[in-house]
Structure 1
Amino acid sequence: MPAPETPSRVHAVTDDALGHLDAVGVVEAIASGAVGATEVVEAAIARTEAVDPVLGAVAWRAWERARAEAAAPRGGFFSGVPTFVKDNVDVAGMPTLHGTDAFVGRPAARDGDLTRMYLATGLVALGKTRLSELGMNAAAEHPRLGPVRNPWGTGHTAGASSAGSAALVAAGAVPIAHANDGGGSIRIPASVTGLVGLKPTRGRLAQDALLRRMPVRIVSDGVLTRSVRDTAAFLREAEKVYRDLSLPPVCDITRPGRQRLRIGFTTSGAGRSASLEVVEQTLRTAALLEELGHHVEEVAAPAPASFPDDFLLYWGSLAAASVVGGRSQHGRTFDRTRLDELTHGLADHVRRHLPRLPGAVARLRRTAGVSARFHERHDVLLSPTLATATPPVGHLAPGLGYGCVIERLQEWVAFTPWQNATGDPAVSLPLARTADDLPLGMMLSAGHGREALLLELSLELEQARPFTHLGRSEPV
């Protein structure tokens, strides 16, 4: 008997306690007494169980813990709202597996710094979400567990290392989930699954010690949501728990800004140009911004010619550090031979080009100044989030070999790494669709610490071109 065909679109939105609500909507429903935290968490568990057999997004289930927390929810604005945490940060009592089979995970003794801040907002963690091995790949495709699939088109990737979180939010299992971004892994999955994904300014949110010690702090944590107001509310509430005093506060962004902005747009990223389809959609977004009264002009991408090679070498050094130092990081069970071909290929790339690494690091550190000078002339940079349409499952499978996967990665991920190097904020918004009717994100970035400006502009665009979400007519 043939296996049942996988549906092309999958969601779990139904007439339960979560309904069509975003995270702020759930907060309001709980506060009004229309639903209780226990009902909401049970609905999220049921939804996750309905879609995860197809999506493959969950790394660790903590249903009973979530039920106990829902029965006596902690305080905070998001008290009782269900969420997931990406499986590369520590949550007490849950193993941190980093998307790999190279070691045996043990339950974390305590929450990491990011997790403490994240859950202090009141969110209830149902478990942890899958990622690509060590967060290195732009598609989560595990040789044993299989791929994390896109709920908009299950033959396609859910994108980057925050794929599990994105798949569950886009499918309606939870309204908000943790993500982090070292080369685009908040913005890439947001783009391909029709979500809002904001990478905050470097230092905006609390961060685990290992990431704080990086020579170039390219990783930022954040959330994936279905509405701009959810992302704005999360940053507002996180700021109450942790605040970097060197950055201007985000505060409470609830409406579009009145200032008309100087917006530059580009369709050329880090050494690559976008496809014709993506260029066309970017031009449409630029035209919309102009219709809204902003000054819009085409500009050259600010990244210097050396940037793609420098970023790849530094990215590879993170993989090399895991290959060489895996036992000290993950314990005696670590076995480097169980790492995938992409991780080994990145480490080999670094070994071959090691003398160039100090220069690459120095140039990456100088990108903040390059970006600051660009934003003296332009308030915002518009670009596509990704250079081409969403690839199918298997297109970035590590088993294809390092050379093939890296070439395909650089062709697709040409725009997002720039803000990881500069530390500037950037947001992907679901403003476009591809020819095969999959979401296509448009990215807006601003100067250091200017999340408030990005959120105001994002709210304006959301009102002008309302976002489409799964669940209005498609069956599970």
Structure 2
Amino acid sequence: MDTEDLLDGNDAVGLAALVRDGRISPHELLDAVAARIEARDPVVNAFVATRIDRARAEIDAGLPDGPLRGVPFAVKDISCDMAGLPTTAGSRLFADAVAADDGVLVTRYRRAGLVLVGKTNTPEFGKNASTEPVLHGPTRNPWRLTHSAGGSSGGSAAAVAAGMLPAAHANDGGGSTRIPAGCCGLFGLKPSRGRVPDDRGAGAFAYPVAAHHALTRSVRDSAALLDAVTGPVPGDPYAALPTPVGGSFLAALATPPARLRVGMSTRAPGGGVAPELVRAVEHIAAHLTDLGHHVEEAAPTWDARKVSRASAIVMAASSRAQIQDRLAVLGRELADDDLEPFTRYLYDALGGSGAVDLHHALKDIERAGREIAPFFDRYDIWLTPTMAVTTPELGVLDTTDPAAMTAHGPNATRFTQIFNVTGLPAASIPAGFDGAGLPVGVQIAGRMGAEAVLLRLAAQLEEAAPWPWQPVWPPAGARPDIEPPVGG
């Protein structure tokens, strides 16, 4: 079988079916992916570590007979431990940190039969909507190498968009799955709080706002991977959410969504929205109307400035503790070159917030959830742009310049952050291209536990308004064989 067609023409679910049917072996799949990584990763810098030889040995030893048996997969280099590989969180302070064993997520990925090939790039502690860490260097967008692949799951997004893998792990504390999905033309779902367990219970305050899942080319891959990792572990701090009728998110896709009430908004709290993103939302809204859903302009209200600060305090407190724990292990004080300037700013300015500040931040987070929830009594879906701006060039979100981060960072998270704070599920769907030929995404969000609804709706849109499946290679602007449906 031609390996180019193999990887370009099949998603993870399709590749797993080929393995089950005996049409391709896990070794052949791994060889094809290894060749792609060797040829393409030096261009986009998606990976920070690979383990091809160990993956071959694991295939030789026999893979679990899971639903995704034989499919190569990678995990993001933050909050997801894989035995023997670095866990740097994109930080020089953790440059030589190596995981002693697998965390919960990797254990579940292995149980599903996935072949784990390496770890992908992330900004320092995930604190950037672009993946440009000093430690590993910037990840480049396969659609245009001068531009960002998004963040903080930019390495995973670039690996999938460039055709090195059919899917890869991501996590999302303020938009870190949905933003790179929008930048790279992929599907990215952030699950509800409590749907997927934290890797080791080590996230502490980060866990209420962060969620693990994946970046994929197809909606069904997202559903299949969610099936692989969903469900609590003993002692989880949040109640387990019910699974869909039939017990599987993938099986749920067989049933199209009922007529949904969709609130549509292109007004960003605290700033404007690029015209291309407005048109993308209108483009998808028109498809939803054609599909029989009721769409009207509507949006919830909340204090965006207060929520943003509360989220920053909670996440910075978690990072500060992580940094101090690391320094205790190393037996030394913090050095000037341990952290990037923006991380150091958060460490000094927010991470040292006292107990009262932290208490008020957690209250503000809880209050935001209560403010947003009534909107989803009236509407099943909220439709927005994924970002308020088009994909930025590399260097715009510059963590060596805290002032630049303060000026430009909120433009990426105006629509995404609220769903981390509230814990509600949200997903970015490819919705055409901007005037420069770069992908744009729109976001759909729903009430707590409504992943099956979002996946069904996304699958319906995937059929009605298909997005490009084949990887972008060689890198350029918009592929010449694609006429951008949105842009200008």
How do 1:23-422 and structure 2 match up within 5 A? 23-71=12-60, 72-88=62-78, 89-211=80-202, 213-214=204-205, 217-239=208-230, 246-250=240-244, 251=248, 252-255=251-254, 257-305=256-304, 306-328=306-328, 331-332=330-331, 335-337=334-336, 338-350=338-350, 354=354, 356-399=357-400, 401-422=401-422
Contact 2:194-2:239 at 8 Å conserved across structures: no
* Separation of aligned partners in 1, 2:71 and 2:15: 7
* Separation of aligned partners in 2, 1:42 and 1:215: 37
Superposition deviation, residue 274 in structure 1:
1.4
- Gaps of at least 5 residues in structure 2 are 477-488
Number of the residue aligned with 1:3 = none
- Give the partner amino acid of 1:274: V
Superposition deviation, residue 411 in structure 1:
2.1
What is the root-mean-square deviation of aligned Cα atoms in Å? 2.4
- Shift in CA distance, 300/273, structure 1 to aligned 2, threshold 3 Å: farther
- Give the partner amino acid of 1:429: I
Contact 1:149-1:156 at 8 Å conserved across structures: yes
Contact 2:142-2:473 at 8 Å conserved across structures: no
- In the alignment of these two chains, the number of paired residues is 462
Q: TM-score, normalised by structure 1?
A: 0.91
Q: Which moved more, 1:246-255 or 1:87-96?
A: 246-255
Task: String of CA shifts for 1:151-187, please: whole Å, max 9, x gaps.
Answer: 1111101111111111101111111111101111111
- Give the partner amino acid of 2:199: D
- Gaps of at least 5 residues in structure 1 are 1-12
Superposition deviation, residue 352 in structure 1:
8.0
Aligned residues with identical type, % of pairs? 37
* Separation of aligned partners in 2, 1:357 and 1:226: 39
* Separation of aligned partners in 1, 2:233 and 2:352: 41
- Shift in CA distance, 211/365, structure 1 to aligned 2, threshold 3 Å: farther
Superposition deviation, residue 369 in structure 1:
2.2
Q: Which moved more, 1:113-122 or 1:227-236?
A: 113-122
How do 1:407-446 and structure 2 match up within 5 A? 407-446=407-446
* Separation of aligned partners in 1, 2:213 and 2:333: 29
Task: String of CA shifts for 1:284-329, please: whole Å, max 9, x gaps.
Answer: 211221121111111134332422333233333334334444324x
Number of the residue aligned with 2:479 = none
Q: TM-score, normalised by structure 2?
A: 0.89
Number of the residue aligned with 1:10 = none
Task: String of CA shifts for 1:221-263, please: whole Å, max 9, x gaps.
Answer: 0011100011111222334897987312032223352410011
Superposition deviation, residue 124 in structure 1:
0.8
Superposition deviation, residue 371 in structure 1:
2.6
- Give the partner amino acid of 2:44: L
Contact 2:387-2:416 at 8 Å conserved across structures: yes
- Shift in CA distance, 268/431, structure 1 to aligned 2, threshold 3 Å: same
- Shift in CA distance, 77/431, structure 1 to aligned 2, threshold 3 Å: same
* Separation of aligned partners in 2, 1:341 and 1:77: 44
Secondary structure at 1:214's aligned position in 2?
A: helix
Contact 1:41-1:70 at 8 Å conserved across structures: no
